Amino acid sequence: MKVREVCGVLNEIASPVLAAEWDNVGLLIGDPKARADKLLLCIDLTEDVLAEAIRLKAKMVMAYHPVIFKGIKRLTTDSASVAYAATRAGLAVYSMHTALDAAVGGTNDVLADVLGLSDRRPLVSVFAGGRCKITVFLPADELSTVANAAFNAGAGIIGDYHDCSFFCQGIGTFFGGEGTAPAAGQAGQHEAVEEVRLEMVAPRSKVVAVCQAIRQVHSYEEPVIDVYPLEDVPVAAEVGMGRVGRLAKPAKLPVVINRIKKALGVKKILLAGEAGDRQIGTAAVAAGAAGSIWRDAAAAGASLYLTGEMRHHDALAAAAAGLSVVCVGHSHSERLTLEHLAKRLTKELPKVKTILSKEDRDPFEVV
């Protein structure tokens, strides 16, 4: 099986569209045409995990955290040692990160399952935002040329679909002033010509490039290009960051904490806010460094908030608001999802041997 085929399944499980705007998900290293008969799953691609992948002859790794996160200007042993070594080893590396967090059945649903939450919903919706609609008017015989130029510059992408557009025909009018050279008709007189209206969406970051690409291939002296900012809208009601729901049966806080420890394999947790034997009926979860969205948990009526880590002042504020906050450690809140992902991939990719890394571990330990 090829790397691109494995990527296709990973994309179906957690579309990159769901990822946070600041994140870097998808295939980060490797050749989509290369073979991938073994897939290693880990939270972090460390040097130990990389050595394990090479030892196991796995040609592809799904590292939940991106091995390339912020932009890098140099790929050297000093600037990006693991990414450099993975590239030299011919390893393909894919990241799911916040796309998997937001997806149905992903990281946060797995964490919600620990508490047995029912009637669950996301704490924070994922919005399809930061886009504009670009409209241009052109001669019919230039439709494919102009559209392809816009697509190549980054327009026309909707989810997993590419080269998306809409066009219709109409009549355009103009009066060319002195010194003009219209592509159709004559200067100095009123003209009415048949035109095509072409529409497509583009990320705001690509708008300038798309407009420049259109102008370069358009035959008009003054192409009419309109850019409309689009309102952000939720991708779907069931996807988003975090989850909130009701426990199947209300339980006292110590019982819930023991349930969390057992499921995540941790001996100690950090607890902020009300302790004691308070009854927990509604709870919220959010994997990773999600302490900042505790207000969404409180607003949703949760009395307990389970997350990976939380800043000091957020913990103080959450406790003052009446929440019991349980922090289990960043990667401990995410690690359980790998087991579930491995089972799903084993079913959906029977020709690929999916392996859970034995070298991947939390960077912290309680001493």
Count of CB atoms within 10 A of residue 315's CB? Answer: 20
What is the pLDDT, as a whole number, of residue 234? Answer: 67
Rounded to whole angstroms, the Cα distance separating 82 from 161 reads: 32
Q: Which residues are registered as beta bridge partners of 325?
A: 272, 305
Q: Are 293 and 241 in contact (CB under 8 A)?
A: yes
Structure tokens at 93: 């590396």
Positive or negative, the CA dihedral 281, 282, 287, 293 is: negative
CA distances from 193 to 141, 144, 163, 169 (A): 13, 19, 27, 11
Q: Residue-wise over 145-173: b if at least 16 C-beta within 10 A, else e?
A: ebbebbbebebbbeeeeeeebebeeeebe
Structure tokens at 193: 């010509």
The reported pTM is 0.78
Domains, in order of start, for the chain: 3-96+335-356 (3.40.1390.30), 104-126+239-330 (3.40.1390.30), 130-231 (3.30.70.120)
Structure tokens at 315: 């913990």
What is the pLDDT, as a whole number, of residue 324? Answer: 97
Shortest CA distance to 343 belongs to which of 96, 14, 41, 25? 41
Rounded to whole angstroms, the Cα distance separating 82 from 86 reads: 6
- Write the pLDDT tens digit of every residue in 178-235: 878 887 878 888 888 899 999 999 988 899 999 999 999 999 989 999 999 987 766 6
Q: What is the DSSP string of 216-280?
A: HH--SSS--EEEEE---EES-TT-EESEEEEEEEEEEHHHHHHHHHHHHT-S--EEEE--TT-EE
Mean pLDDT by 10 residues, the chain (367 residues): 96 92 93 96 97 97 94 85 95 97 97 97 83 94 96 88 94 86 82 93 92 95 93 77 97 97 95 93 97 96 97 97 97 97 97 97 88
What is the pLDDT, as a whole number, of residue 129? Answer: 66
Q: What is the DSSP string of 157-210?
A: -BTTB-S--EEEEEEEEEEB-TT---SSS-BTSEEEEEEEEEEEEEEGGGHHHH
Shortest CA distance to 183 belongs to which of 135, 144, 223, 143? 223
What is the pLDDT, as a whole number, of residue 128? Answer: 67
User: At 148, is the secondary structure helix, strand, or coil?
Assistant: helix
User: At 23, is the secondary structure helix, strand, or coil?
Assistant: coil
User: At 9, is the secondary structure helix, strand, or coil?
Assistant: helix
